[in-house]
Amino acid sequence: MSVLTRTPQFHIARLRGRNNEGVLLGIIALLLLLIAMFSPGTLSPAMFADILRSSVVNMALALGVLLIIISGGIDVSFTAIAIFAAYSTVVLMRSIGLDNGILPFLAAAVIGALLGIINAVLVAGFKLQTLIATLGSQGIVRGALLAFVGSVYISSLPSALAQIGDARLTTIGGSAVSVLVIPVILLAVGLAVVLRKTMFGRSIYAIGGAPESARRAGIRVGRVQTVIYIAAGALSGFAGMVHVALVGHASPFELVGTELTVIAAVVIGGASDAGGRGSVQGVALGVVLLALIQNSLVRLGVPGFWHTAVVGVVILLGVAIQAQSRRRRSKRSTILESAVTA
């Protein structure tokens, strides 16, 4: 049967990639080509640096979301967790007079992990639907941040943290590339390895693909879910700190509201909303694609009022294409199965 599936579409299937990564690369190349044709001046090294900069925070956030979407859930609380962790770390640093460049990132990750426990308890403990559970925790976390931690804009960060945020790794075409790209890339690579090479990573796919089968295969679904939600919380907290360091101020009203862009990047990157699919590479391509589109809208002079609508159309297309290809895939396999049994 495996011979049957492989022979005719071997090359195309190979190019397409497991999660449509090839298609995404093609779309990105096509977009770059279009930009080069219609506005050749904009295709500069500086543009790549800009895209890289605007992708860093989204990529860090997307890693946590990827974990959860692979496991068959969805998370809308991660931006609230991110900004809660980052903002309260800055508030804490100011109140105890701590000035350090590395600790705040760890502290934010720890706070994020603690907040992730809320989601873990609701999803793994009480078996709530993930959308509803994380919607509830979003309200709780955001409300707690604004009511108890603070609702004022902090315009200056502790100096060591501000330095990290301004530190350049290199400069491409006059645009700076922050050193914070490095930890995000390391985390992405680390997550990719965990997902592909470890028992734990494979259990996440198993849970997302078929929870009941995973349970019968001996995977402790509740335990894996608990770890995922706590890890996603830690990643969100870290991402929130990256955001704060990069923008150079701490505002409790930022990040919340950008959930959709991140979720869209993950789904466009091939993670199936039904669970069991998705890869770090795909997510990276999804994040870059969305950043490229937003960036080129500005560069091509599309009026600002239209940006949200265009991004909405792109997200819809991406989601629709993924849904279609998934359907085709499942249809193909059932046809072949019936052919074999007949």
Partner 1 sequence: MSSASTVAPSFLARVRRTLDAAGHTGNLGLLLAGVIIVFSLLNPSIFASPLNLQSIAYAVPEIALLALAIAVTMSSGGIDLSIVATANLSALGAASVSIALMAGGVPGDAAAATGIAVALTVGVGCGLINGLLVAKLRIAPILATLATMTLFSGFAVAVTRGTPLYGLPDAILALGVQTVAIIPVSFWLLILAVVVIWAVMNRTGLGLRIILVGASPEAADYTGIRRSRVLLSTYALSGAIAALAGILMSARSASATAEYGSSYLLLAITIAVLGGTNPLGGRAPIVGVGVAAIVLQAISSGFNGLHISPYIYQILQGLILVVVLVVEVRRGRLTKWITRMMSRPPADGAALAASTGAATPLKEQPTPKPLTQGSHEHD
Applying CB under 8 A, the residues found at the interface with partner 1 are: 5, 72, 74, 122, 126-129, 131-133, 135-144, 146-147, 151, 208-213, 260, 263-264, 267, 272-277, 303, 305-313, 315-316, 319-320, 323-324, 326-327, 329-330, 332-334
Task: Return the number of the residue (127 or 168) whose C-beta is nearest partner 1.
Answer: 127
Closest CB 310 distance from partner 1, rounded Å: 7
3 state SS of 220? coil
Task: Return the number of the residue (14 or 168) whose C-beta is nearest partner 1.
Answer: 14
Closest CB 331 distance from partner 1, rounded Å: 9
CA angle 80, 83, 312 (to 5 degrees): 60
Task: Return the number of the residue (146 or 154) whose C-beta is nearest partner 1.
Answer: 146
Closest CB 76 distance from partner 1, rounded Å: 9
The greatest distance separating any two alpha carbons of the chain, rounded to the nearest whole angstrom, comes to 74
Closest CB 176 distance from partner 1, rounded Å: 30
Task: Return the number of the residue (90 or 133) whose C-beta is nearest partner 1.
Answer: 133
Please tell me the number of Cα atoms within 13 Å of 126 on its side-chain side: 12
Closest CB 321 distance from partner 1, rounded Å: 10
Task: Return the number of the residue (92 or 140) whose C-beta is nearest partner 1.
Answer: 140
- List all residues 6 or more positions away from 109 whose beta carbon is below 8 Å from its beta carbon: 85, 234, 235, 237, 238, 241
Task: Return the number of the residue (40 or 301) whose C-beta is nearest partner 1.
Answer: 301
Residue 168 φ/ψ region, left for φ over 0, alpha for ψ in the -120 to 50 degree band, beta for the rest: beta
Task: Quote the DSSP letter at residue 126.
Answer: S
Task: Return the number of the residue (245 or 290) whose C-beta is nearest partner 1.
Answer: 290
Q: Which helix H or strand E contains 172, and what residues bound it?
A: strand 168-172
Task: Return the number of the residue (56 or 133) whose C-beta is nearest partner 1.
Answer: 133
CA 127 to chain centre: 24
**Cα dihedral across residues 181, 282, 35, 321: positive or negative:** negative
Closest CB 34 distance from partner 1, rounded Å: 21
Q: Tell me the C-alpha distance between 1 and 40, whole Å.
A: 49
- C-alpha distances in Å from residue 100, one per residue of 236, 250, 267: 20, 16, 36
Q: Tell me the C-alpha distance between 142 and 77, whole Å.
A: 9
Task: Quote the DSSP letter at residue 20.
Answer: S
Closest CB 27 distance from partner 1, rounded Å: 17
Closest CB 170 distance from partner 1, rounded Å: 34
Alpha-helix residue ranges (DSSP H) falling in 121-198: 130-144, 159-166, 181-197
